[in-house]
Amino acid sequence: MAASISYATMLAKKGGAETKNAIDLADVFCREARMRIDANFNNLFTDHDDAAYKLVQHLLKGEFDWFKGQVVEPLMPTAEQCEEAMANLA
């Protein structure tokens, strides 16, 4: 926020038609940033640790083995697949 305010102030002092709305842009950016900050602080102590802990305990017991696969265990590409992908990028 400080950087956007500083930059907008510098542009406004510089003047010119292309910079006349710099303060307005910084104002809206800062208002939205404050809303995000407020929301994050409001959610800071709202957690689901108890539910997550219970879920992990069941997971460690093997109760979610049916869910294994690419979602839980990511598929690692082979060296050949990596080389092919790199060749396609070039």
pLDDT greater than 70 at residue 87: yes
* Residue 27 covered by a domain: yes
Q: Which residue has the tokens 């930059």?
A: 7
Note whether 57 and 34 are same-domain residues.
no
* Residue 47 covered by a domain: no
Give this prediction's pTM. 0.50
Cβ–Cβ < 8 Å for 18, 43: no
Distance, CA of 74 to CA of 26 (rounded, Å): 42
Determine the structural domain holding residue 7 and report its residue range.
2-42
How many distinct structural domains can be found in the chain? 2
* Residue 7 covered by a domain: yes
For the chain, the 3-state helix, strand and coil shares in percent, each to the nearest 5, are 70, 0, 30
Note whether 38 and 57 are same-domain residues.
no
Note whether 34 and 57 are same-domain residues.
no
* Residue 37 covered by a domain: yes
* Residue 77 covered by a domain: yes
Per residue in 13-53, pLDDT (tens digit) is 888 777 878 999 999 999 999 999 999 998 888 878 889 89
Distance, CA of 41 to CA of 78 (rounded, Å): 44
Cβ–Cβ < 8 Å for 19, 12: yes
Note whether 8 and 37 are same-domain residues.
yes
